[in-house]
Structure 1
């Protein structure tokens, strides 16, 4: 009997010791969060429930300077599996907004508590993420329920739109390794006590939205309470989170600075090691262009000759040649000026025949004017160069003496052949006059395409494919921009460019349409998670190609010398109204001088100024030209049109929501999703 009593006494002591060992670990304040049902430890272990987050409560207080104080309480159940020493919380340092904008967030940890007592923590930062490691490496925690509290400040995390501000905030983050039973969130705006409704809601709030689920989902397993706070209606699984979107008038944070987008320069100077590979193509482009410049520009020692007014035509320079130097192409005006030069040299004669209106059975036919070219005798051929003689023989083959170039007549075969022959002749001189930069630009564009290729290999294939899809729009808009720059460059040199205003308008409209369309399509296909390193590397690569195209010289040294001659002639011809010619040439030589310079004035885009000055001089001195029947610009313009029309080939068809701004980055009104917005991150145990 005594032995039986001793056995009972020992069993009682063992049970008492077992319960006393479990009692400290199972202590939990059930009244700290009313409404949260937490079972006892024994029942939890009996059910075999794993580690989890029992409650995630977050309260955010906006400050007048735009920063936000966040108080997170995370109540966890630890079984000693992963939560051996404590938990860790991660915060993303970069926020990629839906509209493609990128913002860098600043966090400041104020306080960390465990069960109301300050807890040791350490910070780690890597891969654009801040990690708060809570607990001590040399101390293990017994299984139980713990309440962690993080108090931190975050800034540069909200959005500012024309009429409102917005907090698009990932409350929990989608990176937790545990399910979450309950989530609560409440936002406090500055001085909100004076604007509370009877339900406790801030009346200044414009809208409140909530999204639950995995990354990108728009789940609605949460409710918005009367006071404007949020709570979930169902547990969240691993990888699921809660994202909220609050909007309010801009006047509330009127003194707060607008959030600043992340600057490209910061990433250029200190890119992350992994994304640094994206900047390899821009550096390759820079290296290639420097080598190209050294080989073709520096080695040639190109120098621009001084431009001085030229009062006469240098030997061996034709009107078509000077225009070809300026335009880098042989166009209709160049051909007309070469033909006009034959008239000025008295090798051919321009005759105009006017026909009066006639009465026919079908009515009156309007009057018309014919323009004919007539080949003259060879007495003036000593003034002709070999190129002039070749052009003359092409215009008048065999025994042909007359050629109809009337604009309304059929196309002239001799004029077409002459136009093609002249163009072929000048194109042969292209390598000696101009530098070929097309190949270098193509190499730069090809190297730019390495950016999406590398991104597809190391990061995200779909983003790379989307870039290739959108690249034609971006390249097309870039090429239009290059053509506009080319037009502006030569229209400054040649006042009356052959390109029409309609074509210029279409080019501008096309550029303004294709560039935004390409960028919008790019952002649509790649969603909001687009790294700024990728955008920056691709943009810098294309800008390097564009910059190279704009600054690289187009002419060889021979071309620069000829271009200086052309510019010198322009300086003199444009100043015709100043009557400088009267001091340079005697009166008996002035008419011949006017006639000699007229083809060059037409070629260099100052034909109207020179022709009208010529006509006024003849009228004032009661003189006539022995070459041109009409020296007015209208007559010269008609001749140019007739030459262009008669020499044109059949295939040639040408001749010379609110008005305040966008809210695409907003997460309110159903535009957001779980995992979107600033904040977020996740956590786990260690």
Structure 2
């Protein structure tokens, strides 16, 4: 049996006297019973914390000892003593407590929406009832009133209600309640009988309930302010200079260097540009046969190679004089690829500081963000008694999140973006792409579960701070990266050179003393045009010039494969760029090659409620 006498006071507080009769068989109930009472509600706009203070505890009309422990959303009151067993048989427990902030204040009425029994009792309730008293005069003007029975969320009507204008309103169930079933009541009365908190009090309550959100938001502003300061100090790139057309690559840079420097990353086209440049310089000849490319060593080149080109040539041909770009020669091609990438990285990343990461400034921001996690989320978690678990998760989540979103997700996106080219190449890429996709999704799944735990252990609003803080760090991880003044000059020169390579005839008329268009000039800068993705535009400039070189068409000494001569120069430029790059990519791909990771309440009286809704609630059991 469960009976509750509820008194609503004019100041909005409640005094509740619960009378609970149980039968002890010495199994579930050995020392007494416990009663859970929710005091903390996670809502979309923040937390709401209600008061709870025990006034009296009785067993069989005599005072009984009790103690309390915090649970994730409230307080558990243990009635009895750890080392004292109660006799078997019937016992009547009386628990008297006071609570506040349980009423709903609406425009035209006030409301009590109250979970009388709670829905988390471990044993059934034979009969549940409640008697509610309102401030003087309110009961005569009572408005909507109803109740709900059953499991949480159900809207059962197994109750009867009676209004006593001199006593109050009484509710009583008409059937026993099974485990986890409960009785919830709701009724309203006109405004004016209970004092509603004013705006000042509401603001004070919100601050008291959401200190974690308040300090977390302040912390987010501090992190954002620090990053803006750091970006203004060290993160802004030097201003672009006046665009000047250049007729040569800057600082004697090779085509591979130009592409790597501009893109800040390596790709297959970087190697293609290097090989074609070696061919133009007379160290290689490229022969196309039946859709395959054969590279043949030539005795003496007419121009010296760059350092990285020397190593690439050595890896490709080794002690031999030729190599076919096909899968069987994949190990050699991959070796040349790694050699070129490592040489470029050594020169432009690990050597002279052309690109500055400003990692020290980022690490400070990362540390500040971690402190925000600890303070904002820790205050919230402490109130739910989840603080130890929160601290452990926080130390685990931070590196996990940055590894997931900083490496795995970009790696997965990059692998799918690179899923193109010949059918064989794409077929061989499928195992590695599927592996990194499933691997990344597994990490993302764990991330979602942990963030859900964060949302569960704190308010929704505080939980939203987590992705915002992470987003700020990810954005400024890239924004803090900077280039030197020398790097700016080189980039401007490269773009000026690119402007020359993609110029139209009209553009050339506005240039000051451009070099004469000759077959030698076309060949010399074709690798650079390929490196800068303007090979077709470069070829279009020489269509007329090279068409008149020979009656059978233009034929470069370092290339053969398109018949007796090349009649469409722009088609040749585009074809040699795309098909040669695809051939390199296909031949260097193998099944064993992986894909890199880098790079509310209220409204219950109007019929909108349910069992388990409103204030109060909780549950209980024996111990």
| 1:96 has 2:14 as partner | no
How many angstroms does 1:610 deviate by? 3.7
Residues 446, 405 of structure 1: CA spacing in aligned structure 2 closer, same or farther, 3 A cutoff?
farther
In structure 2, the partner of 1:435 is 356
CA distance in 2, matches of 1:473, 1:411: 35
| 1:55 has 2:5 as partner | yes
Q: Per the alignment, in what secondary structure is the counterpart of residue 481 of structure 2? A: coil
The superposition leaves residues 545-592 of structure 1 with CA deviations (integer Å, 9 ceiling, x where unpaired) of 02212423343333333222333344444x456664577688963433
CA distance in 2, matches of 1:393, 1:511: 37
In structure 2, the partner of 1:478 is 405
Residues 271, 605 of structure 1: CA spacing in aligned structure 2 closer, same or farther, 3 A cutoff?
farther
| 1:329 has 2:280 as partner | no
| 1:183 has 2:130 as partner | yes
Number of residue pairs matched by the alignment: 464
The superposition leaves residues 44-93 of structure 1 with CA deviations (integer Å, 9 ceiling, x where unpaired) of xxxxxxxx9963388xxxxxxxxxxx99996879xxxxxxxxxxxx998x
Q: Per the alignment, in what secondary structure is the counterpart of residue 337 of structure 1? A: helix
The superposition leaves residues 332-357 of structure 1 with CA deviations (integer Å, 9 ceiling, x where unpaired) of 221221121122233332233x3xxx
| 1:544 has 2:487 as partner | no
| 1:553 has 2:459 as partner | no
CA distance in 1, matches of 2:268, 2:105: 66
CA distance in 1, matches of 2:519, 2:434: 43
Residues 73, 633 of structure 1: CA spacing in aligned structure 2 closer, same or farther, 3 A cutoff?
closer
**Structure 2 matches for 1:33-112, cutoff 5 A?**
55-56=5-6, 95-97=41-43, 101-102=44-45
Pick aligned residue for 1:320 from 243, 247, 256: 256
Residues 445, 608 of structure 1: CA spacing in aligned structure 2 closer, same or farther, 3 A cutoff?
farther
CA distance in 1, matches of 2:100, 2:327: 90
Q: Per the alignment, in what secondary structure is the counterpart of residue 483 of structure 2? A: coil
How many angstroms does 1:285 deviate by? 4.1
Q: Per the alignment, in what secondary structure is the counterpart of residue 410 of structure 1? A: helix
In structure 2, the partner of 1:494 is none
Pick aligned residue for 2:340 from 414, 422, 426: 422
Pick aligned residue for 1:406 from 304, 309, 325: 325
CA distance in 1, matches of 2:543, 2:230: 51
- The structure number with the bigger radius of gyration is 1
In structure 1, the partner of 2:159 is 225
C-alpha contact 2:49 2:209 (8 A) present in aligned 1: no
Q: Per the alignment, in what secondary structure is the counterpart of residue 273 of structure 2? A: helix
**Cα-Cα RMSD:** 6.2
C-alpha contact 1:55 1:181 (8 A) present in aligned 2: no
Residues 542, 417 of structure 1: CA spacing in aligned structure 2 closer, same or farther, 3 A cutoff?
closer
The superposition leaves residues 472-494 of structure 1 with CA deviations (integer Å, 9 ceiling, x where unpaired) of 77546533697399979x99xxx
C-alpha contact 2:213 2:461 (8 A) present in aligned 1: yes
C-alpha contact 2:114 2:185 (8 A) present in aligned 1: yes
TM-score (norm 1): 0.50
In structure 1, the partner of 2:520 is 592
Q: Per the alignment, in what secondary structure is the counterpart of residue 330 of structure 2? A: coil
Pick aligned residue for 2:575 from 610, 614, 634: 634
How many angstroms does 1:511 deviate by? 12
How many angstroms does 1:169 deviate by? 5.0
The superposition leaves residues 571-623 of structure 1 with CA deviations (integer Å, 9 ceiling, x where unpaired) of 444x4566645776889634333222221222223335445665686458765
Residues 223, 410 of structure 1: CA spacing in aligned structure 2 closer, same or farther, 3 A cutoff?
same
How many angstroms does 1:293 deviate by? 4.2
CA distance in 2, matches of 1:405, 1:559: 37
**Structure 2 matches for 1:142-221, cutoff 5 A?**
154-155=105-106, 170-171=114-115, 182-183=129-130
